[in-house]
Amino acid sequence: MVNMTIEQDMIRPPQPPGPIKWIKENLFSSILNTVLTILLIPVISYLLYGVFRWMFFAADWTAVTQFPLLYAVGQYPRDQLWRVGIILSGLFLFLGMSWGRWRGLLKTISITAGLIQLIIALLPVQHPALDMSMRLFLGSGLLVILLGYLIGSRTPIKNTYIIIGWFIVPIFGIVLLAGFEVSKYIPIWISDLIPSVSTTLWGGLLITFLLAAGGILLSFPLGIALAFGRRSSLPFVSAFSTVFIETIRGVPLVTILFMFSFVMALFLPVESRIDRLVRALMAVTVFSAAYSAENVRGGLQSVPLGQIEAAEALGMGNLKTTIFIVLPQALRAVLPAIVGQFISLFKDTTLVVIIGINDFLGIGRSIINSDPEFVQMRTEVYIFMAIVYWIFSYLMSLASRRIEETLGVSSNL
């Protein structure tokens, strides 16, 4: 028993250092670090004081606080915002269920999302958009997440159902946002209940999230297919994949957006033209897929040939070897590069403002140009938008680091 206790003490991980120990090891560990710390503390304090004073006393945030719904959904009809509420509730429910089933980073994301909504609901500001019904809905977001957590942790629901739900909710959400027009397949009562809303009225964060999430989900499998196609032994498949990847990577995203938005429309008949938002999503997907393909190809080259030979010796076919042996190791090796590409894609969605789509950045620019007084507040508007983009980019980066830690890709977090 004594030996077992000694062994357990030897393998027990060390306790995290306290704040005093952390300060001593990181800020005052040597004479040079001590001098730098003493010199930088007043400089950083002065800068933080200036930023704090400007943000809370000198800056005018009117151009931000007066248009919360415009930043969120653009010109989407205000009497139809219940559709957005249903979609958010569904996403929060499955987020809570995922937290209850898989724990880990999902706990941080779930609590953060719920608290952000709760803080917005409790803001002590008088604004028509923040009426009692809107405040109650925002405040209920945390309750919906907790309900999902209870369902995921206390009920025997299968993981497969939760994963399927994550695919169904976005598809259902897009259909709900778009609505229905009267046709021989759609009765009048459905069109009256859920009328069609043109994508020209969509905007703000709604467009940004749709393009980013859609581009990531669609470009990733396409990139994997292109990576395998480039390594294929079939000359036609390899040549097509290579030409596709190198052509797309050789031009900027702006060019791809113009090609899909304007040039494609010229070659399609009027009655068959694709919606402009769908064309923008196609452009973002194609552009991101080319870069994802090269990232995945780099991971495929890192898989030792002995792994494939061992799988063949065990009688595994090419498909099983690829799915269960090669692909997991390849994706694990290039996970940081893949997530970096997704973060870049999220920020690159701002370029759609060039083709007339009012995403989050486009709404901010429209507000600035709508009133001469708001031109003086452009610094506040751009800082607000930068903070929003930074928050979501940081959450994606944090998720990447947690996944890397779980997979043992990186030990430095």
User: In order along the chain (413 residues), what is the average pLDDT of each group of 10 residues?
Assistant: 47 60 81 88 92 91 90 92 92 92 84 86 77 86 93 89 91 92 83 90 93 92 94 92 94 92 79 85 94 92 86 84 88 87 92 90 92 91 93 86 72 47
pLDDT at 16: 55
The tokens of 264 are what?
Answer: 């494609």
Give the single-character DSSP code of 260: I
Q: Are 261 and 355 in contact (CB under 8 A)?
A: yes
Q: What does the chain come to in residues?
A: 413
Q: Is residue 376 helix, strand or coil? A: coil
Q: Are 202 and 281 in contact (CB under 8 A)?
A: no
Give the single-character DSSP code of 358: -
Contacts 24+ apart (CB under 8 A), 82-88: 83/176, 83/177, 83/179, 83/194, 84/177, 84/206, 85/137, 86/173, 86/176, 87/169, 87/172, 87/173, 87/176, 87/177, 88/141
The full set of domain ranges for the chain reads 60-76+200-413, 79-196
Q: Are 268 and 276 in contact (CB under 8 A)?
A: no
The tokens of 396 are what?
Answer: 């994606």
Q: Are 278 and 352 in contact (CB under 8 A)?
A: no
Instruction: Name the maximum alpha-carbon separation found in the chain.
Output: 83
pLDDT at 189: 85
| Side chain identity, residue 34 | T
Q: Are 354 and 411 in contact (CB under 8 A)?
A: no
d(CA 282, CA 269): 18
Q: Is residue 360 helix, strand or coil? A: helix
pLDDT at 129: 77
CA neighbor of 304 nearest in space, from 276, 335, 333, 272: 333
Contacts 24+ apart (CB under 8 A), 121-124: none
The CA-based dihedral angle spanning residues 309, 314, 318, 321, taken in that order and rounded to the nearest 10 degrees: -80
Q: Are 192 and 109 in contact (CB under 8 A)?
A: no
The tokens of 221 are what?
Answer: 């499998």
d(CA 133, CA 8): 56
pLDDT one-digit tens code per residue, 293-338: 999 999 998 888 888 888 888 888 888 888 888 888 898 888 888 8
pLDDT at 402: 80
The fold adopted by the segment(s) 60-76+200-413 is MetI-like fold (1.10.3720)
CA angle 24, 29, 32 (to 5 degrees): 130
Neighbours of 149 (CB within 10 A): 23
Question: What is the residue-wise DSSP string for 122-190?
Answer: T-----GGG-HHHHHHHHHHHHHHHHHHHHHHHS---HHHHHHHHHHHHHHHHHHHH-B---SSS-HHH
